[in-house]
Amino acid sequence: MSRQRIVVLTGAGISAESGIRTFRDGDGLWEEHRIEDVATPQAWHADPMFVWRFYQARRRQMLEVEPNPAHEALADLAERHEELTLITQNVDDLHERAGNTSTIHMHGRLKTLRCERSGQTEVRMEEGDLKDEFLTCTCCAVAQRLRPDIVWFGEMPMHMEDIYAAVEECDTFLVVGSSGHVYPAAGLVNVANAAGAKTILVNLEAPVNADAFTEVHLGKAGEILPGVLKHLSEEDMQPE
Ligand code: NAD
């Protein structure tokens, strides 16, 4: 078991080969919708039913997709490296289903819904929870409307204290499948560089912040990530 501290940050690109579309599939839209219309608090206030149905469709889709070799390679890495922190911007549960059960979801999760009044979350993935009608919570005396447990644009990402602590202490920082547009996630590579970590990127095409990385591997994560991680583990096993 290696003592090297590795932090991995994944984005929508790692789930693309599982069949979940990324945010910026070339047209700047998410499943044909403008981000402002489905992923902001303003959109929720203006037309909650529209936003609700969008996320219910994403939640149903999650049940139809499977982890791909990139998710699996990260689950294998976790078995070899005690000191691995996996952070994802993704709201799907494909890392957990591949075996990374302690994944940190900085932008929330599709699996859970959040009470609009108390802020408590509950896992709601039964058949009756996936229909188009609004659902209500089980935490309040008078049941309240639930909202998607998603960090929308303009809202504060989750677990930032733990995330900065892990990145500031890491030896290797690896980003997989992220366009480098969404902050603060896109800025974490700078925190890792300042901490003296080796910074590695695996992405289909060069993202806007590609220059910030010491090592860049371009290609599909499912095809190239297993090799990148194997090399990382072998390097780590070399005597100092
Ligand atoms: P993004 O959509 O902005 O960028 C995705 C990046 O992945 C692009 O640079 C693209 O070139 C790359 N990519 C596409 N296919 C790839 C592949 N097979 N292998 C490697 N790279 C590939 O995604 P982001 O940077 O994560 O930011 C967008 C936001 O979208 C996140 O906050 C996230 O919450 C949300 N989102 C999540 C999901 C999901 O949970 N699966 C899906 C869509 C959007």
Task: Write the CATH number for 87.
Answer: 3.40.50.1220
Query: Using CA positions, which residue lies closest to atom 8 of ligand 1?
Result: 179
Look at residues 214, 216, 170 and name the one whose alpha carbon lies nearest to residue 191.
170
Ligand 1 centre distance from Cα of residue 1 (Å): 31
Determine the atom of ligand 1 nearest the C-alpha atom of 207.
9
Ligand 1 centre distance from Cα of residue 92 (Å): 11
Task: Return left, alpha or beta for 167; rule: phi > 0 is left, psi -120 to 50 is alpha, else beta.
Answer: alpha
Q: Are residues 189 and 99 in the same domain?
A: yes
177, pLDDT greater than 70: yes
Per-residue pLDDT tens digits for 118-134: 999 999 999 999 999 99
Query: Using CA positions, which residue lies closest to atom 32 of ligand 1?
Result: 89
SS3 176: strand
Global pTM reads 0.95
**Domain count across the chain:** 2
* pLDDT value at residue 25: 61
Domain-ending residue, one of 121, 150, 179: 150
Please indicate whether residue 81 or residue 45 has the higher confidence score (pLDDT): 45
**Number of other residues whose CB lies within 10 A of the CB of residue 9:** 27
Contacts of 224 (CB under 8 A, 6+ apart): 202, 217
* pLDDT value at residue 82: 83
Q: Are residues 235 and 142 in the same domain?
A: no
Determine the atom of ligand 1 nearest the C-alpha atom of 17.
18
Q: Are residues 162 and 203 in the same domain?
A: yes
Contact at 8 Å (CB) between 51 and 40?
no
Average pLDDT over residues 151-178: 97
Q: How many helices (H) and strands (E) does the chain have?
A: 9, 9
Query: Using CA positions, which residue lies closest to atom 39 of ligand 1?
Result: 90
Q: Are residues 176 and 217 in the same domain?
A: yes
Average pLDDT over residues 172-188: 95
Token pair for residue 44?
A: 């929720």
Catalytic residue among 107, 181, 217, 231, which? 107
33 is catalytic: no
Look at residues 16, 13, 160, 10 and name the one whose alpha carbon lies nearest to residue 88.
10
Determine the atom of ligand 1 nearest the C-alpha atom of 20.
41
- Cα–chain center distance at 215: 21
**Number of other residues whose CB lies within 10 A of the CB of residue 7:** 27
* pLDDT value at residue 233: 84
**Max alpha carbon distance in the chain (Å)?**
62
* pLDDT value at residue 118: 98
Average pLDDT over residues 2-16: 92
Domain-ending residue, one of 124, 150, 176: 150
Per-residue pLDDT tens digits for 97-108: 999 999 999 999
- pLDDT band for position 55 (cuts 50, 70, 90): very high
Q: Are residues 75 and 177 in the same domain?
A: yes
Instruction: Give the gyration radius of the chain's Cα atoms.
Output: 18
- Cα–chain center distance at 100: 12
Q: Are residues 164 and 217 in the same domain?
A: yes
Contact at 8 Å (CB) between 22 and 13?
yes
Q: Residues lining ligand 1, CB < 6 A?
A: 11-13, 15-17, 20, 22-24, 30, 89-92, 107, 177-179, 181-182, 203-205, 207, 220-221
* pLDDT value at residue 33: 85
- pLDDT band for position 234 (cuts 50, 70, 90): confident
In this structure, what CATH number is given to the domain that contains residue 31? 3.30.1600.10
Tell me which residue has tokens 């590609």: 210
Look at residues 178, 207, 179, 212 and name the one whose alpha carbon lies nearest to residue 193.
212
* pLDDT value at residue 2: 61
Ligand 1 centre distance from Cα of residue 211 (Å): 19
Ligand 1 centre distance from Cα of residue 133 (Å): 28
Structural domain that includes position 52: 21-64+109-150
Q: Are residues 103 and 220 in the same domain?
A: yes
- pLDDT band for position 228 (cuts 50, 70, 90): very high
Determine the atom of ligand 1 nearest the C-alpha atom of 178.
25
